[in-house]
Structure formats: C-alpha cells, structure tokens
Amino acid sequence: MTEAKTASIYSRRSALQLMIAGVAGLAGSNLLGQPALARTSPAKPTGRVIVGLGQEPTVFNPLMVHIEVDDGVHFSVFDALFRIDPQGVIQPNLAVEVPDQKNGGISEDGLKWRIRLRDDVRWHDGTPFSAEDVKFTLELITNPNFRSWRTAGHALVRDITVISPTEISWRMEEPFAPYLSFLTETFIVPKHILEKEANPNNAAFNQAPVGTGPFKWGQRVPGDHLELVANPNYFGEGPHIERLVFKYIPDLTVLYTQFKSGDVDLVGQPYITPDHYGEAKTLPNRVVTLVPRTSFESFYLNLERPQFRELAVREALYAAIDKEAIIQGLYYGVPTPTETFMPRQSFFFNANLPLHQFDVNRAGKILDQAGWAKGADGIRAKSGVRLSFTNSTTSGDPLREQVQQFLQQTFAQLGVEMKISNLPAAVMWGEFWTQSQFDSVIVGSSYLIGADPDVTNRLHSRSIAVKGGRGSNNAQYTNPEVDALLDKGARTFDPEARRAIYSRVQELVRRDLPFLPLYQSNAVEGLKKGINGFVPNGNTRTESWNALAWYWAS
C-alpha cells in the first residue's frame, strides 16, 4: 500500500505540468506511474551513472554544516520525513502522510505536530528505522556542541515524544508553517550508530555514512570521486542503477570537455557554463536543456547609503538596465528575466507584477523630477550627495564583470557614476556582505529555504545583521507592511491563504526596489541520451535529488 503511494507521487497531472515547463524531453517514465516504469526499467539495479561536479562533496553527515554540492549525496544515501516534488508539493518520504490541520497532523493552533512513520524501513546495516531515530535527529541538530547546519525552525521544537516506533509528536514554541518545508531538507540519521559517539563532529559515521536511502555508501577517493552502490532493499521505488558516482572536476571548461568526451554521463553543479550552451545543444547523443533554478540574480543595494535612500533613484537605475541586452548579449540567452525573488516554478510566484522596461530617457526624467541635477563633473547630485557608488561582485566571474562594465556605461550616460571593485568569493561573502559594508553588489542566490515562500530571513526588518538582527537582510530593507505580512505568513498553514500573503509581499518589494531584480538563473543541464528517469527539480538544490529513478535504456 505504502509502496504504491510513493510511486504515484508523480501523477499524469505533474507530467503535464513538466511538459508545460518545457522539460518534457527529460521527463522519464517514472513520471507516468508504476506500470510504465515496470516495463522499461531493469529488474535489478544495473549500470553506472557518473555525475560531474565543479565542487567536491566533503560533508556526508547531512546534519552538519555543508554546501549545495553535498546535497546530491544526502538525497541518495538518506531519507527525510518528506520530499518536495518538482511542482513544489510536499510528499511523504519516511512519513506515511504529510501532516496538516485537516488530517489532524498539525493542531488548529499550529503548535502540536504528530507524524506517522513507515514501518517497512531499515537502515543500510539492517537495523529497523523507528521514531527514536527521528527524535535523536531533531535533538542532535540543536545540540550546542554539534556543528549543525541550519537551526531555524528546529530551535522551536519542544517535548519530542515517541508515541510508538511509527509515531512521533512534538510541540512548537510558536506556530511556524515553514517548518514542514525545512523538514524536507532534514535527513534522518541513525540513533543506534551516532549515540555511541562521544563527539558527533568527528564520528567515523561522518566519513562512511549509514542511511535508509536508495544508495549505500561505497567508497571515496578524496579530491577525485565518491561512489555509492544500490540499496536493493530500499522501501520505495528504485534504485535502478547499480552504482552512482560523483566525480569532482574543478575546472568548468574541463567539466564540459569531459561531458563532451563521454567521461561524464551527467553534468551536475554548477552545470554547463552559458558560453558552451550553443555548442552543447548540437552535441550528438546528448540531451541539453535549460532547467529553472531557485537562484535569483539582482543588482543589490545597501539602502542605508544616502545615494539609494530615495525610491526615485532606485527606479531610475532600474529603468536604465537593459536586461534583454545583458541576457542575450552576455549570457547567451540562458537566464529568464524576472521581477521577483520568487522562482517561477514556485506555487507562490506572483506573475502579475509590473514589467520592467528599459528606457534611459525615462530614467533621466525621474532623476530630474526628484531634483538630482548634473553637477560640473557631469555627475548628478542632490543636497550634497553625489550619485556615485561602487559595485562589487565575486572576482574571476567574467560574465558578471562584463555586466558591470555594460551597466557602468549606461549609468554614465545617465549622469551616475559606478565604480567597480570586485573581491574574491571568500572575502566578498564574509563580513563585507553580512555586515552590509558594500554600496551595491551583483549577487545571485536563492531566497527560499526548501521551497517555502517565507523570506523573513531576507526581507524582515528584524533580520538586519548590522543592526543586531539575526538574518541576512543585508540591503537593510524596512517596510512595516512587509514585516507584518511575513509574520502572518509564517503562522499561516493553508497554502491558498499563504499564496495571497506572499503575492502581496512580492508586490511591495517590486514597488520598493530594495534590489533591482535582474533574472532567475537556469541551469544548462546536460546528460547522455539513454539516461531515463532524470527529472529536474527547481525546488531542491541538486540535480541528483531522485537518482533512485534513473536508469539506462537497454
């Protein structure tokens, strides 16, 4: 019964939506339900898929602080209570159903959570999985000596009670709807192994993890690759391939070359670089498509700088950005222009925001009307403030550097001086970024945790780190209405009600322009023809979120 449930996650409706999303070519038979799958996938796991990655996965305890590239391993070796599908709908994974206020899994006040778990799950070493493991996991995350990753949401959990091996409940300190999404990225670790460790930070488990997932730990050659092997006793669908290899290839040109030469079967993060997109599409026996990512690129402003305090300045700068020229001319047409931080594949995406129009003359008029007049040096100024600022981004990113030079020229026509001052990544995203020490930056990042629309961390006035806040609202954006909406959204569980709330947030942010939205990034995903079952999922951070469904055409 439960098995059928997992398989039917991917309904015909979802297949249709994927086709609309333009990725039909990639949609494998696992989208069409169990019968089609049984016809084409091998009876027992066979073959191997090599995923090429530009960064090396090094963190295998999924609860420890890690980066995006480690996710592919976590999704393959472990299971979470829930998973998020490509449409942004949360599906059960180790749980048998997704709790909500209707089915009683979450109480009316949002404080009591009760999760029912599968009874047919075993750890890779044969030990049965139970609610004790879930309790242990949630407690380990908030252990002050443990180098855990995100603690938001988990820190609100109290009174975890194991009701039976297949049922667990807890109380939340306050209602917090995004927690369900957070749990899709919270992989459950085995209590019976980790409880014996005096120091969980240096446990042997961290180098050879034991999970419940479709793949078991194989071996790792540091600096080179790591290999996972099929778990034939997996409770859900798959796996269909016998070995899954993550190969580390640090140079992106070489990553593409190895895809071209056939050494790599599937290109993972950071995918094929835009300059190779045109050529990659013409390669024989390869499938190359654009896959929407959650990452959102913007011209990000520090609103506490006197140059940017006035909305007119921000509107004028936005009008002076020729997005289309940048996307087509510099980015080979890869990204999609956007007006919001919300990815378009999200259920909460607001499609009715005013569209940006490039118009330098209008930009000039806006500044004239607001009283920013050109001085003797050709630069506009108002009340002693010159409209001059620096712009920074990660050095060594040739595409962004070209964007900067392009904008510098347009802004100069407008009487705005933009100086370029780029920093290495390790410097850029340290205090310079977190403590709002910049004037403006070009930055691409996701705003969402899991696929939850809650962006309190990014846009709430309580989240300004330099003012003692605890988040990363580094633009120092403050809007009481946005604050109130974000507070309300975090306490609201009904998706439709939340959609209205976050639509309004997007409207206000589009109006206030704390950052000038440029585009949503698309991954140039490449894989060999013959790999079936590959489904991109813009609601996760990895291309390998469901390697369990991959198989080679026989």
Partner 1 sequence: MSGFLLNRLSQSIVLLVIVSIIGFTVLNLMPGGPLAQFGLDPGMTQKDVERLATQLGLNRPLWIQYLDWAWRLLQGDWGHSFRDGSSVLAVIGRHLLATLLLMGTSTAFAIAVGAWIGIRGATHRYSLFDYCATVGAMVALSVPTFWFGLIGIYIFTLKLGWVPAGNMYTIGDGSVLDYLHHLILPSLVLSLVHVAIWSRYMRTATLDALSQDFVKTARAKGVSERRILLKHVVGNALLPMITLAGMQLPSILTGALVTETVFTWPGMGRLFLDSLGYSDYPVVMGLLIFSAILVVLGNLIADIIIATVDPRIRLG
Applying CB under 8 A, which residues contact partner 1? Answer: 48, 50, 56, 58-60, 64-65, 67, 144-145, 147, 149-152, 182, 201-202, 206-207, 221-225, 227, 243, 245, 247-251, 253-254, 257-258, 260-261, 263, 424-434, 443, 445-449, 455, 457-458, 463, 465, 469-472
Comparing CB distances to partner 1, the nearer of 86 and 450 is 450
Comparison of 20 and 426: residue with beta carbon closer to partner 1: 426
Burial of 224 (0-12, 13-18, 19+ CB in 10 A): exposed
Quote the least distance from Cβ 153 to partner 1, whole Å.
9
Of residues 381 and 509, the one with the C-beta less far from partner 1: 509
Nearest to partner 1 of 411, 502 (CB atom): 502
CA distance 547 to 522: 20
Shortest distance (Å) from residue 432 CB to partner 1: 7
Nearest approach in angstroms of CB 147 to partner 1 is: 5
At closest approach, how far in Å is the CB of 65 from partner 1? 6
According to DSSP, the β-strands at 515-528 and 286-301 are: antiparallel
d(C-alpha 521, C-alpha 271), whole Å = 12
What phi and psi values does residue 195 have, to the nearest 5 degrees? -65, -20
CB 499 within 8 A of CB 348: yes
Give the nearer residue to partner 1 in terms of CB position, either 265 or 512: 265
* Beta carbons within 10 angstroms of residue 66's beta carbon: 18
Cα–Cα distance, 503 to 509 (Å, whole number)? 10
Pinpoint the alpha helices (H) of 297-353: 311-319, 323-325
- 450 with 423: CB under 8 angstroms? no
26 vs 226, beta carbon nearer partner 1? 226
Whether omega for the bond prior to residue 144 falls within 30 degrees of 0, making it cis, is no
Cβ atoms of 44 and 232 within 8 Å: the answer is yes
Main-chain dihedrals φ then ψ at residue 534, nearest 5 degrees:
-80, 125
Min. distance of Cβ 269 from partner 1 in angstroms?
14
- Do the Cβ atoms of 420 and 408 come closer than 8 Å? yes
310 or 487: CB nearest partner 1: 487
| Cis amide leading into 239 (omega within 30) | yes
CB atoms within 10 A of CB 204: 10
Indicate the helix (H) or strand (E) that contains 17: helix 12-20
Pairwise CA distance, residues 64 & 418, whole Å: 40
Closest CA to 530 of 226, 266, 248: 266
Please state the closest distance from residue 532 (CB atom) to partner 1, in A.
21
Tokens of 354: 């005013």
Q: What is the separation of C-alpha 433 from the centre of its chain, rounded to a whole number of angstroms?
A: 19
Q: How far is the CB of 108 from partner 1 (least distance, A)?
A: 27
**C-alpha angle 17-23-29 in degrees, rounded to nearest 5:** 80
- CB 243 to partner 1: min, Å: 8
User: Toward partner 1, which CB reaches closer, 289 or 295?
Assistant: 295
In whole angstroms, the minimum distance from the beta carbon of 553 to partner 1 comes to 20
Q: How far is the CB of 258 from partner 1 (least distance, A)?
A: 5
Measured from the CB atom, is 105 or 450 closer to partner 1?
450
Comparing CB distances to partner 1, the nearer of 27 and 451 is 451
Nearer to partner 1, 202 or 233 (CB): 202
What is the C-alpha to C-alpha distance for residues 204 and 357, in angstroms, rounded to an integer?
56
| Alpha-carbon gap, residue 487 to 485, rounded angstroms | 5
Instruction: Report the residue number, 370 or 427, with the smaller CB distance to partner 1.
Output: 427
Instruction: Provide the 10 A C-beta neighbour count for residue 419.
Output: 12
Q: Which is nearer to partner 1, 224 or 481 (CB)?
A: 224
Q: Is 299 helix (H, G, I), strand (E, B) or coil?
A: strand
What span, in angstroms and rounded, lies between the C-alpha atoms of 536 and 534? 7
CB of 518 within 8 A of CB of 499?
A: no
Shortest Cβ 278–partner 1 spacing (Å): 17
Closest CA to 177 of 489, 406, 505, 414: 489
Judged by beta carbon, residue 63 or residue 320, the one nearer partner 1 is 63
The minimum distance between CB 549 and partner 1, in angstroms, equals: 22
Q: Which two tokens stand for residue 478?
A: 């403050």
Matching residue, tokens 């042997």:
204
Nearest distance, CB of residue 316 and partner 1, angstroms: 28
Amino acid, res. 470: R
Instruction: Write down the least CB distance from residue 433 to partner 1, Å.
Output: 5
First and final C-alpha spacing in the chain? 29
